[in-house]
Amino acid sequence: MPTSTYPTNTVPRLFLPQTADVTEISQKIAELSNQVHDLSLVIGGKKITGSGKKISVSLPHRKAEQYATVTLPSVDEIKNALDNALEAREKWSQTSVSQRVAIFNKVADLIENKYKNLLVAATMIGQSKTVFQGEIDAAAGLIDSIRFNSKFALDIEKMQPPDSEVTNIALDYRPLEGFVYAITPFNFTTTSAILSTAPALMGNVVIWKPSITAMLPSHILMDIYKEAGLPDGVINLVPGYGPEVSKVLLTNEYLAGIYFTGSTKVFRQLWQQVGNNLDTYRNFPRLVGETGGKGFVIAHPTADRDRLISAIVRSGFEYQGQKCSACSRAYIPQSVWDEIKDKLVAEVRDLKFGQIEDFKNFMGAVIDEASFNRLSTVLKNLSADPEIEILAGGKSDSSTGYFVEPTLVISKNPKNKVFSDEYFGPILAIHVFPDNQFEAILETIDQVSAYALTGSIFCEDSAVVTEVLEKLRNSAGSMNVNDKPTGAVMGKHPFGGSRASGTNDKAGSLQGLLRWTSPRVVRTVTTSATDVKHPHQL
Ligand code: NAD
């Protein structure tokens, strides 16, 4: 059973004004955003410019400034990535877990000691993150996720059945027989790192398709994997929007698994495509998907008011609400609402957003034009909805970059779709309920949305907390008591949800790693039967 010691979590830097940390990261941001990065495939350890379409990628917060060109691969280049991965598999699948752990611990050390500013700056410019959001994602979360997963891989190796006097049973944690297709979203560099490395840590080879808007940190990660000694071809990076890469990979007999994080809609499509191709595969592919969310906060009349306000604002609007764990619906008893309304609305109206180089800002821009257009339509529909009152924000402006105001709305109808649909932007809905309807509102929270990813209860009465945890047992894979629903700490807080939020395999945990191994039992016996007949036949 697990014995190796836990790594220590990385303490994020705070970037206080006029410190060396601020000067250094600002220099890196300027350096990276003043050039156009040529980003394409990495196959068998080599950077290759794809022969497909060239896409120019701009800064979300200054849309006129291009910072990257991504060249898409041809079908032959995608097949080439696959051939390279399968060839690399022959040796990589034979490596020991300690050899693999040594490489990935080196990855974490390199990031901590050499590349964290580069990764944080790349994540800030490409994802439009503020410095602290960049730090917790591309430095602290990333380093910790790799170190903790390495520890969990060693723990798994030690998980063996008990011996008996005559039998020794060993579990041989084999990698899957084929390749893993890792598909990552735009919003977290940590997620990109976990999904590309976790299967490799368990001895698998990976074809990794990042989001087009997250190619810069993804390329930097590929360079770091190589510098740490990861053999060529173990992780191959293939850019694309998805369907064109899937067309090749999902029809290949060696597809052994999909490791996906992104929207529920895309994961359902992938699952369906795999189902349609089942006869093609040598194995039943493992399908792991962490998908959408509709995070909630529920307050009890005993809730600490200031903690509640801070949690709602931070989890609703940090990183422009583009976290799957973000709070996008809050349920407040009337007595609490009467006390917090003015302060909460004032805090949201006061949130500064703008260029990520200005560290006074709380938010940057949303990721791209498509997201901006989608959120602008949501805002238009909300302002036309007679059931909705806009308390703060409500506008968007793309004259410089893709900026959407932090928007707080209130509705008397807890079934309005503002409480059920995932918008993935800075839009948060409040429902105020009579204090004596606390139990009934729990039922609504559980039923109104298809998602079950994150939730928080703010309450100073422990008996009520117990009741809420029981009633909302299936409403969230990650439930927080007196804290915000965002901000999972890697290694300490396994993350994932069920229902429409995914397969709940908990990225960054021992359970998550188990999906990427196909154990073989090797049973060695010292004494076995020499008779054919059984005793009852005597
Ligand atoms: P998305 O679904 O649009 O894209 C995710 C990835 O899937 C991208 O790399 C995209 O190119 C790719 N893709 C799209 N169609 C594909 C196809 N046919 N084949 C292969 N790949 C395909 O999501 P997004 O906008 O990047 O991210 C936002 C979504 O991700 C939100 O719904 C959010 O809740 C979710 N998310 C969930 C978690 C979690 O842990 N549950 C974490 C982060 C993000």
Is the model more confident about 463 or about 538? 463
As a whole-number percent, the residues of the chain with pLDDT over 70 amount to 99
Atom of ligand 1 nearest to the CA of 188: 43
Residues 6+ apart with CB under 8 A from 80: 43
- Is residue 106 over pLDDT 80? yes
- Is residue 1 over pLDDT 50? no
Could you give the CA distance from residue 224 to residue 218 in angstroms, rounded to a whole number? Answer: 10
Q: Which entry of 77, 135, 324, 459 is annotated as an active-site residue?
A: 324
Residue 486 φ/ψ, nearest 5 degrees: -95, 170
- Is residue 526 over pLDDT 70? yes
As a whole-number percent, the residues of the chain with pLDDT over 90 amount to 96
Could you give the CA distance from residue 274 to residue 283 in angstroms, rounded to a whole number? Answer: 11
Model pTM score:
0.97
Please report the pLDDT score of residue 492 as a whole number: 87
429, β-bridge pairs: 329, 409
Residues 6+ apart with CB under 8 A from 265: none
pLDDT-wise least confident of 78-82, 381-385, 396-400, 527-531: 527-531
CATH fold label, 295-481: Aldehyde Dehydrogenase; Chain A, domain 2 (3.40.309)
111-166 pLDDT, tens per residue?
Answer: 999 999 999 999 999 999 999 999 999 999 999 999 999 999 999 999 999 988 88
For the chain, the average pLDDT equals: 97
247-281 pLDDT, tens per residue?
Answer: 999 999 999 999 999 999 999 999 999 999 999 99
- Is residue 3 over pLDDT 70? no
- 3-state SS string for 175-203: ECCCEEEEECCCCCHHHHHHHHHHHHHCC
- Is residue 196 in contact with ligand 1, taking CB distance under 6 Å? no
Please report the pLDDT score of residue 4 as a whole number: 63
Confidence category of residue 457, pLDDT binned at 50, 70, 90: very high
HSE-up of 351 (CA within 13 Å, CB side)?
A: 31
∠ Cα 262 266 271 (to 5°) = 110
Cα distances from 3 to residues 96, 154, 294, in angstroms, run 18, 9, 37
Please report the pLDDT score of residue 2 as a whole number: 46
Q: Which two tokens stand for residue 344?
A: 């909460």
Q: Which two tokens stand for residue 127?
A: 């994802």
Per-domain residue ranges of the chain: 20-291+502-522, 295-481
Q: Which of 185, 259, 179, 257 is nearest to 217 (CA)?
A: 185
- Is residue 183 in contact with ligand 1, taking CB distance under 6 Å? yes
Active site residue 290: yes
Is the model more confident about 180 or about 164? 180
Cα torsion at 77, 83, 88, 93 (round to 10°)? 130
Place of tokens 């909302």: 472
- Is residue 494 in contact with ligand 1, taking CB distance under 6 Å? no
Place of tokens 């579990």: 171
239-254 pLDDT, tens per residue?
Answer: 999 999 999 999 999 9
- Is residue 532 over pLDDT 70? yes
Distance 183 CA to ligand 1 centre (A): 8
Distance 376 CA to ligand 1 centre (A): 20
- Is residue 397 over pLDDT 90? yes
- Is residue 15 over pLDDT 80? yes
Inter-axis angle of helices 116-127 and 215-227, nearest 10: 160
Class level of CATH domain 20-291+502-522: alpha beta
Could you give the CA distance from residue 66 to residue 217 in angstroms, rounded to a whole number? Answer: 16
- Is residue 126 in contact with ligand 1, taking CB distance under 6 Å? no
Could you give the CA distance from residue 456 to residue 451 in angstroms, rounded to a whole number? Answer: 14
∠ Cα 124 125 129 (to 5°) = 35
Pairing between β-strand 403-404 and β-strand 396-397 as defined by DSSP bridges: antiparallel
Could you give the CA distance from residue 314 to residue 406 in angstroms, rounded to a whole number? Answer: 11
Q: Which of 228, 246, 275 is nearest to 100 (CA)?
A: 228
Could you give the CA distance from residue 375 to residue 421 in angstroms, rounded to a whole number? Answer: 12
Which whole number is the average pLDDT over 422-444?
Answer: 98
Which whole number is the average pLDDT over 459-474?
Answer: 98
Distance 134 CA to ligand 1 centre (A): 19
169, β-bridge pairs: 523
Query: Ligand 1, from 251, 266, 499: best to mutate by most atoms within 8 Å of Cβ?
Result: 266
Distance 331 CA to ligand 1 centre (A): 28
